[in-house]
Amino acid sequence: MSLTHLDDKGAARMVDVSEKSSTVRVAVAEATVKMLPQTLNMIIEGKHAKGDVLAVARIAGIQAAKKTSELIPLCHPLMLSSV
């Protein structure tokens, strides 16, 4: 099996996808965050000194989805319909 993003010598290269037809794609991301129980309680109660931690996490996730092609090497930019 050959990898499309590597040439015969193993050097990384972009693949031309300009002729590729649009397809429906779904991506799922998950994370585990370890914290003290007191910290979790502060977040749930909205009493964390830095504000709404979950809102910041949601915004960070949206920004990451929008910038995937900049963050992951050799990833082509794709149009997003929702995040």
- Look at residue 66 and tell me if it is in a domain: yes
Length of the chain: 83
What is the span of the domain harbouring residue 69?
Answer: 49-78
Candidate ranges 4-8, 34-38, 67-71; pick with highest mean pLDDT: 34-38
- Look at residue 54 and tell me if it is in a domain: yes
Whether the per-residue pLDDT at 2 is higher than 80: the answer is no
| Number of structural domains in the chain | 1
- Look at residue 4 and tell me if it is in a domain: no
- Look at residue 21 and tell me if it is in a domain: no
Return the pLDDT at 18. Answer: 85
By C-alpha distance, which of 80, 70, 77 is closest to 27? Answer: 80
* Residue 1 pLDDT level (bands cut at 50, 70, 90): low
What pLDDT digit, counting tens, does each position of 10-62 carry? 898 888 888 888 888 898 888 899 999 999 999 999 999 999 999 999 999 99
Q: How far apart are CA 69 and CA 76, in angstroms?
A: 5
Cα atoms in the Cβ-side hemisphere of radius 13 Å centred on 29 = 10
- Look at residue 73 and tell me if it is in a domain: yes
